[in-house]
């Protein structure tokens, strides 16, 4: 442990050292069996006589706190349980706005037999061998300096080529900014386009973390209802500066925004001088119909910022995403990125570049699509066969979750009991609403659920909905 001496302290050097070591033992900072720093080393570092340190160790030994071992040094003895220290002084308080922010997932690392939470992916599908080779190659020449805040040029070019081929988003590398995920992209754009007090429109129901992120910037966040064609454009406040949407697979309802509604939204943005944030978070996994043209591709005025993430394709461990911006915003977004955290991790960028450019990412996606489609089909069959009367899944053409609605859905507090009694983790639909009366239901994520576990998981879920006791 680090020891300190205060020359202005009226206590002697030996007294200061004694109390520091004893307090560390009493509080558990030093545990039984821990070896104390040799007296000679302590004396040299503190520039005091070795005899002063020896005196402290001898007193601690006499009191039964430590013991000396011939030729081995001094060690903490097992004794009474540590006396827990009190909390540190609470002189600092968060601002009222920061204190009002809510975490969406209070226990993200909770483990259960069946994880049906949305946003999970199957780690067994991760391209481990290819990723390991790409990381090893990148580690041979690690960067010795900070990189471009927008991301290295090779990765931006690889992303631009990939989204052009797979999503129909035509953009040059200079329009791409590499981020730490979709939320990071929203954060950067909000810093550039919105000021505290500006109105920002989001979907209702929608993704709660984005709601809290926008609030953290001091925005006046207004939830706008969603119908079968997507966000209701006529309900967007005229003063909205930004509109955040998930048109390809609305979160959480799964609605695909109709082409006519997309055109209406773009006309509205032009008429009100607003920006549209298009979060295309899981468009890679389409199970039935072909995707509609992205808003970014339909945009003729440069009002759409396109957001993507690798969290659904490679998992959260990579923590990478991107945004595609109109050229007029790229310099400001890049400058803000540098101010926030300078640049994306160079090692991860180099590995991700090799994964995409080498064709490994494309092969991984084809394999993952096939696996998730089979899993989704089985899930749909099980839900149709086993859900109690009154419950039904909403139609969804893409993604890694289905939304089930039903008027008898147990209260959110009962979801903890589902995990404890049936070993199932589940996300409540009600928590995705901010202002309107929430719809009863839940989200069934199948990304992190092995296909073999679909039947027992849905069996347990439906037993819970029916009020049956766990076996």
Token output for 22 = 């004893």
Task: Reply yes or no on whether the pLDDT at 81 is more than 70.
Answer: no
211 and 319 share one domain: yes
Token output for 9 = 């302290």
Closest CA to 257 of 272, 237, 276, 238: 276
Question: pLDDT (tens digit, 9 = 90+) per residue, 196-251?
Answer: 999 999 999 999 999 999 999 999 999 999 999 999 999 999 999 999 999 999 99
The Cα 88–Cα 106 span in angstroms is 23
354 and 380 share one domain: no
> How many domains does the structure of the chain reveal?
3
272 three-state secondary structure: helix
Query: What secondary structure does DSSP assign to 128-161, as a single string?
Result: HHHHHHHHHHHHTS--SS---TT--HHHHHHHHH
Q: Final residue of a domain: which of 362, 386, 409?
A: 362
What values do phi and psi take at 100, rounded to 5?
Answer: -85, -10
Token output for 279 = 């979060």
Closest CA to 112 of 425, 462, 416: 425
239 and 259 share one domain: yes
320 and 182 share one domain: yes
pLDDT band at 79 (very low <50, low <70, confident <90, very high): confident
72 and 132 share one domain: no
Q: Looking at the DSSP assignment, which residues form a beta bridge with residue 425? A: 115
Confirm if 155 and 349 have CB atoms less than 8 A apart: yes
Query: What's 16's domain CATH number?
Result: 1.10.10.10
357 and 379 share one domain: no
Q: Looking at the DSSP assignment, which residues form a beta bridge with residue 361? A: none
In a domain, 100, yes or no: no
CA angle, 93 as apex, 89 and 97 as ends, to 5°? Answer: 165
164 and 80 share one domain: no
In a domain, 101, yes or no: no
Domain that residue 73 falls in: 1-92
55 and 142 share one domain: no
Task: Reply yes or no on whether the pLDDT at 95 is more than 70.
Answer: yes
Q: Looking at the DSSP assignment, which residues form a beta bridge with residue 404? A: 393, 442
Question: pLDDT (tens digit, 9 = 90+) per residue, 377-436?
Answer: 999 999 999 999 999 999 988 999 999 999 989 999 899 889 888 999 999 999 999 988
The Cα 170–Cα 175 span in angstroms is 10
118 three-state secondary structure: coil
**Which of 164-168, 288-292, 367-371, 448-452 is the least confident region?**
288-292
In a domain, 187, yes or no: yes
In a domain, 99, yes or no: no
415 and 332 share one domain: no
174 and 262 share one domain: yes
CA dist list (Å): 390 to 373, 406, 441, 443, 469: 26, 6, 11, 16, 20
Query: What's 286's domain CATH number?
Result: 3.40.640.10
33 and 13 share one domain: yes
445 and 356 share one domain: no
């Amino acid at each position: 442990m680090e020891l300190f001496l205060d020359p202005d302290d009226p206590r002697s050097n030996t007294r200061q050292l004694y109390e520091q070591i004893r307090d560390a033992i009493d509080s558990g900072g030093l545990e039984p069996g821990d070896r104390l720093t040799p007296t000679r080393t302590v004396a040299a570092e503190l520039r005091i006589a070795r005899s002063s340190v020896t005196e402290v160790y001898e007193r601690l030994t006499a009191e039964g706190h430590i013991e000396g071992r011939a030729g081995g040094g001094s060690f903490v003895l097992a004794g009474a349980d540590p006396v827990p220290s009190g909390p540190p002084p609470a002189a600092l308080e968060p601002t009222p706005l920061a204190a009002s922010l809510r975490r969406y997932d209070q226990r993200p690392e909770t483990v259960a037999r069946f994880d049906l939470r949305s946003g999970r992916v199957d780690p067994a599908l991760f391209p481990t061998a290819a990723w390991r080779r790409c990381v090893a190659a990148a580690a041979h020449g690690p960067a010795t300096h900070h990189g471009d805040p927008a991301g290295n040029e090779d990765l931006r070019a690889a992303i631009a080529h990939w989204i052009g081929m797979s999503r129909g988003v035509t953009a040059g590398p200079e329009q791409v900014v590499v981020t730490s995920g979709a939320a990071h992209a929203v954060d950067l754009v909000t810093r550039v386009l919105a000021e505290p007090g500006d109105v920002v429109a989001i979907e209702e129901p929608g993704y709660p973390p984005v709601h809290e992120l926008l609030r953290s910037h001091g925005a006046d966040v207004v939830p706008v209802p969603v119908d079968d064609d997507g966000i209701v454009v006529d309900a967007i406040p005229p003063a909205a500066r930004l509109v955040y949407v998930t048109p390809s697979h609305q979160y959480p309802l799964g609605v695909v925004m109709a082409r006519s509604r997309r055109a209406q939204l773009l006309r509205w943005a032009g008429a009100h001088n607003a920006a549209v944030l298009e979060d295309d978070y899981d468009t890679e996994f389409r199970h039935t119909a072909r995707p509609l043209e992205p808003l970014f591709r339909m945009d003729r005025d440069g009002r759409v910022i396109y957001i993507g993430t690798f969290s659904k394709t490679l998992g959260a461990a990579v923590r990478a995403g991107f945004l595609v911006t109109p050229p007029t915003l790229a310099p400001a977004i890049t400058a803000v990125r540098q101010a926030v955290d300078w640049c994306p991790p160079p090692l991860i960028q180099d590995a991700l570049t090799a994964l995409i450019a080498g064709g490994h990412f494309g092969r991984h996606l084809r394999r993952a699509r096939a696996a998730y489609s089979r899993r989704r089909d089985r899930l749909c069959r099980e839900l149709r066969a086993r859900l109690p009367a009154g419950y039904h899944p909403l139609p969804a053409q893409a993604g890694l979750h289905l939304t089930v609605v039903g008027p008898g859905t147990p209260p959110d507090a009962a979801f903890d009991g589902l995990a404890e009694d049936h070993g199932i983790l589940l996300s409540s639909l009600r928590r995705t609403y901010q202002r309107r009366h929430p719809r009863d239901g839940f989200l069934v994520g199948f990304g992190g659920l092995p296909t073999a576990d679909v039947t027992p998981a849905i069996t347990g879920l439906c037993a819970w909905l029916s009020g049956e006791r766990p076996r």
